[in-house]
Structure 1
Amino acid sequence: MDRKIYFIFLFSLILASCSQKARIVLLPDTQTYAEKYPEIMESQLNWVASNAKNINFVLQQGDLTQNNNDKEWQVVKDNFSKIDNKVPYVLAVGNHDMGSAVGKFADVRNSTIFNTYFPFADFAKQSYFGGTFEPQKLDNAYFLLNTGKVKWIAITLEFGPRNEVLTWANEILAKHPDRLAIVNTHAYMYSDNTRIGEGDNWRPQAYGVGKDTGEKAVNDGEQIWEKLIRKNANVRFVFSGHILNGGVGTLTSTNDAGLPVYQMLANYQEGVKGSVKGGNGFLRIIYLNFKKNTVNIKTYSPYLNEYKLEKEHNFDFEQVNFSSSKK
């Protein structure tokens, strides 16, 4: 075989192999690092930057900060800047990332500081940026991402998304039926492997924004499922944080189209049972194999260079449908 042809053939095999796999990184609730241990967040984002060629995109599940102040937001900004133009990333607004003043969490829906440190204009320049619910605000946004042959739409939703936001999200998903969807939001799953609902702690309705009514009314996990997730055949994954107790929860549900939806809570912040230094840098790596139709979840800390091996942190899904529909 001609040497040039051989290398073209080899390169095509490598590309084909790469297109059959993807790797997504989840960075849940970084608030304790922003407040007390900035070196741990630095280790996380340095690791992402060092492995940029092998990471397709990063999703963060909200509560970027603990106290929603400039000092903590600067820590967050400095660290995420390490992966600017290297790895696409999607952020969520948690209850600790909004409020009327420092120390007042989600008493009102004010995310001015978040949108100052992560301005709309910077994200709008990215080729993968889709759009937002409100002009110039990233609280509710969607992103069009590609991993080989699989096209994705990732929608990030505010803490306790309003009814009008869920209406918008339904419209966006309907416009992109050919894309496999991920919903990324702060409060959705509970620590007992169910969705957040009546009687649960830390429900969005318990905060100041929970007093809003009509189109401004907030929604918990079960309501998000009923009003958005189950109705859209292309939604395959939902990722969230927020909840303490054991800090993890996993649920597979069947949507109205008869397709599985994989829903996961991961949270390692201060206050979670067994948490050390606000989580010791543990993050989640989602390995997707489109050829074998599998998803493997690993929980890893770049700070410690250790994995969590317990079954709630290290598990697989098989026979995963990576199509945006039954077809």
Structure 2
Amino acid sequence: MIKRLKYLIFTGLILASCSQKARIVLLPDTQTYAEKYPEVLDAQLTWIAKNAKKIDFVLQQGDLTQNNNVKEWGIVKNAFAKIDNKVPYVLAAGNHDMGSGPGLFADVRNTSLFNTYFGEQNLKKYYGGSFEVGKLENAYFLFQTGKVKWLVITLEFGPRNEVLEWAGKIASKYADRLGIVNTHAYMYSDNTRIGVGDNWRPQAYGIGKDQGEKAVNDGEQIWDKLISKNQNIRWVFSGHILNSGVGTLISTNEKSLPVYQMLANYQEGVKGSIKGGNGFLRIVDLDFKEKSAQIRTFSPFLNEYKLDTANNFTLREIKFNTNIK
């Protein structure tokens, strides 16, 4: 009886300790793997599947494909099938995942293949709703890790004014939840948000001609219109940008609370990239008791870490609460 009691107490302590931590895996632009190196993408998803019990959810930052064609979408779908019903995952639609046809990137907002291959049925347990019925490029999801409740909003490439207005209403509705915005284009490689004069700005694509409520927004505009105004949105993850492919920025919102914003992208075209990124992904380990976040960049394909400070760092004194009082 005494041994049994000790076991229960010990087990309870373990569970209590675990509930004070969370692990999020970030899976940046997979486009080159879909086009040329499917074995690298398979290695990433196989690793996630094997470590499913240690991962709370996965966020993918868009450009799942390079050419937005059936062949590449099939490769991506088969890879993600490895974690179906094992680890919840949220995807973003990048400029390479939308367009009027294969190889036409964001000339129009056609995401038919994205939504055909990844419908809301994949996340019914966590799915909250979408801006447009039957479309997941603008949607929100509700997770819980221990006592921490999460709101994850995923946004299209160059989100429209009307989409940002919708997202703001969702953030307000779930103001008691810690918010993450997951989107394709937001941060630039100089540790600032994408803005006027930057390469690969959403306004430079075909959809950039739209006006009014359909007008696109870059990172700085997303910050001004959505992120800075909602006290519970504390994290923003994005990809898309080349150069070094990485960037980190901590900004203060209108309620004087810190917002942690990160760019991670290792695709073909990024400086030093091999095999479209060699399978590097990001592991974000949150410790609610210690008020810290450890960010590591790891490749299951190579079984190695990036050890430079842009890819391997710890954030401290993080405010995880959503109450500003």
TM-score category (smaller protein): over 0.9
CA RMSD of aligned residues (A): 0.8
* CA distance in structure 1 between the partners assigned to 2:122 and 2:261 by the alignment: 30
Kindly indicate whether the alpha-carbon contact (under 8 Å) linking 2:98 and 2:105 is maintained by their aligned counterparts in 1.
yes
Given the alignment, which residue of 201, 210, 213 partners 1:212?
210
* CA distance in structure 2 between the partners assigned to 1:103 and 1:83 by the alignment: 28
Kindly indicate whether the alpha-carbon contact (under 8 Å) linking 2:84 and 2:122 is maintained by their aligned counterparts in 1.
no
How far off is 1:204 after superposition? 0.3
* CA distance in structure 2 between the partners assigned to 1:61 and 1:105 by the alignment: 16
Structure 1 equivalent of residue 81 of structure 2: 81
Aligned pair in 2 of structure 1 residues 121, 20: CA closer, same or farther (>3 Å)?
closer
1:141-152 matched pairs, under 5 angstroms = 141-152=139-150
* CA distance in structure 1 between the partners assigned to 2:264 and 2:193 by the alignment: 13
Structure 2 equivalent of residue 111 of structure 1: 111
Percent of aligned pairs sharing the same letter: 70
Deviations 1:257-316 (A, max 9, x none): 110000000000000000000000000000100010000100000000000000000011
Structure 2 equivalent of residue 54 of structure 1: 54
Runs of 4+ in 1 over 6 A off after TM superposition: none
* CA distance in structure 1 between the partners assigned to 2:308 and 2:323 by the alignment: 33
Structure 2 equivalent of residue 284 of structure 1: 282
Deviations 1:54-112 (A, max 9, x none): 00000000000000001000010001010001001000000000000111000000000
TM-score, scaled to structure 1: 0.98
Kindly indicate whether the alpha-carbon contact (under 8 Å) linking 1:121 and 1:136 is maintained by their aligned counterparts in 2.
no
* CA distance in structure 2 between the partners assigned to 1:194 and 1:108 by the alignment: 27
* CA distance in structure 2 between the partners assigned to 1:77 and 1:229 by the alignment: 31
Amino acid at match of 2:74: Q
1:265-304 matched pairs, under 5 angstroms = 265-304=263-302
* CA distance in structure 1 between the partners assigned to 2:253 and 2:322 by the alignment: 12
Structure 1 equivalent of residue 197 of structure 2: 199
1:167-246 matched pairs, under 5 angstroms = 167-246=165-244
Q: Which SS does the other structure have where 2:269 is aligned?
A: coil
Structure 2 equivalent of residue 317 of structure 1: 315
TM-score, scaled to structure 2: 0.99
How far off is 1:127 after superposition? 1.6
1:144-163 matched pairs, under 5 angstroms = 144-163=142-161
Aligned residue pairs, count: 325
Structure 2 equivalent of residue 10 of structure 1: 10
Gap regions ≥5 residues in structure 2: none
